[in-house]
Amino acid sequence: MTAPISVRLCPDGPLLVRGADSVTDDSGVEHLVTRPVVALCTCGKSRRKPWCDATHKAIRKP
């Protein structure tokens, strides 16, 4: 039995995903998960998609 996958949306931030083995992006490319928790980009501006690179902060700035 595999551990359950959990997903949490951070306000104005990424999705935190625990327990996933891989993430498939919007082009169908599979990215292996190599750390205990990963942050997925939700703002669409990350340069390391599907991973969050904190670019959302620059967008939020007035």
Partner 1 sequence: MRVPKQRGPVSGWVCAVMRGHNGPVPALAAGSVINDADVQLALWMIYELHYRGFDDVPDDVEWTLSLIQLRRDIEVRFEAELRAATAPLPTVEEDLGQQVLDIAEADRGPSLALFLQREADAGQMCDYLRERSITQLKESDPHSFVLGRLEGLPKVALAELQYDEYGGGRLDRLHARLYAQALQAAGLDPTYGAYIDQVSAVTLATANVMSMFAMNRRFRGASMGHLAVFEATSSVPCRRIAAGLDRLGFPAEVAVYFEEHIEADAVHEQLAARDICAPMAADHPHLSPDILFGAAVCLYLEGLAGADLLTRWRPEARVAS
41 burial (CB, 10 Å; 0-12 / 13-18 / 19+) is buried
Torsion over CA: 42, 7, 13, 53 (sign): negative
| 53 is a site residue for partner 1 (CB under 8 A) | yes
| 43 is a site residue for partner 1 (CB under 8 A) | no
Binding to partner 1 (CB under 8 A): which residues in 1-40? 10-11, 13-14, 16, 34-39
Residues that bind partner 1 (CB under 8 A): 10-11, 13-14, 16, 34-39, 47-48, 51-55, 57-58, 60-61
